[in-house]
Structures are given as C-alpha cells and as structure tokens.
C-alpha cells in the first residue's frame, strides 16, 4: 500500500525534523565544489533561526517529514529534502504547492555548480537572472540568482 504524501504548513513541533533535514541536506548543495567545508548546525546559526521565524514554511510528509521549503516575501529561502528522499519528487511537490502563493518576480539563490537544483527550478520556469561570487570559508563560490518572471501559477 502506497503512503499518502501531503504538503502542509510548518508547525513548531516539526522543528527537530526539519533541522535534521537541513543539517543532513545542506552539505549536499556543495556536491560539485572542490575543497573542504564545515557547516554550522541550524540551531547555532542566529541568522538562519531568525529567517525561519519570519518565513512561511511548508513541509512534505508521509509518516515523517521528507522535505521542506519556505519563502519570505518574494524570496524562496528554503528547499531541502532529506537525502534518502532525494530524487523522489518531494521538491517538485513542494514547489507545485508554494508557487501559486508567490508573485512574478519571485527569486532564489543557488550555487552555480548545483546542476540538479538549477534543472529543477528551470523546469518550473525560473531563469538565471545574474551570477555573483560569494566568499564562503575562504572559497570563492559562484552563485546564480534565479527568478520566475511569470505569475502563471497564480492563475490556476
């Protein structure tokens, strides 16, 4: 019997599960980058914690949370899937759910080397708007700003 996957609004009792997903999945964003990186656990990053408090966050779950996404205004800040659920349509379901809530001009930032994420966002109509460099732990990393220029999802 196939489990029912649902998208719902984040609740405070989900915190430990989404923190674990973030901590497990965040390093995966750097899969094509050379060098060693260290990552601060979510709960120790004051900026991330304040951003979470201000964002609209949604989870995808069956019997446990498989992934989550969130946005603040017109910026998507979160799109993380637990590694064992990666490639199983979780991010597709999350984007399908949140894009109707967002406006044309919604944007996000993604590592230029993260081809999997870029392909996903392009599938939904995002285009690369600009490229910029971020110094992260002594590494100069290229990022893309991706933007969705149509509000077609709002008319569905």
- Tell me the residue range of the domain where 119 lies: 6-155
Q: Is residue 93 part of a domain?
A: yes
Rounded to an integer, the average pLDDT of 136-142 is: 78
Check pLDDT > 50 for residue 155.
Answer: no
Residue 1 lies in a domain: no
How many structural domains is the chain composed of?
Answer: 1
Note the pLDDT tens digit of each residue in 92-124: 999 999 999 999 899 999 999 999 999 999 999
> Does residue 107 fall inside a structural domain?
yes
**Does 28 score more than 80 pLDDT?**
no
Residue 130: inside a domain: yes
Mean pLDDT throughout 135-155?
78
Average pLDDT score over the chain: 88
- pLDDT of 40 reads 78
CA 2 to chain centre: 26
Q: Is residue 97 part of a domain?
A: yes
Structure tokens at 122: 């392009």
Q: What's the Cα-to-Cα distance from 38 to each of 28, 41, 81, 132, 138, rounded to whole Å?
A: 12, 10, 19, 21, 11
pTM over 0.75, yes/no: yes
48: domain CATH number? Answer: 3.40.630.30
């Amino acid at each position: 019997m196939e489990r029912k996957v649902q998208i719902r609004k984040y609740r405070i009792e989900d915190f430990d599960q989404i923190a674990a997903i973030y901590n497990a999945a965040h390093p995966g964003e750097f899969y094509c980058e050379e060098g060693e990186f260290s990552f601060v656990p979510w709960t120790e990053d004051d900026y991330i914690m304040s951003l979470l408090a201000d964002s609209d966050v949604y989870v995808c779950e069956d019997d446990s949370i498989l992934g989550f996404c969130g946005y603040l205004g017109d910026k998507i800040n979160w799109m993380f899937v637990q590694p064992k659920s990666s490639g199983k349509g979780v991010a597709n379901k999350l984007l399908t759910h949140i894009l109707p809530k967002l406006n044309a001009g919604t944007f996000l930032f993604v590592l230029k080397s993260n081809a999997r994420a870029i392909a996903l966002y392009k599938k939904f109509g995002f285009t690369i708007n600009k490229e910029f460099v971020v110094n992260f732990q002594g590494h100069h990393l290229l990022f893309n700003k991706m933007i969705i220029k149509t509000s077609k999802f709002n008319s569905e």
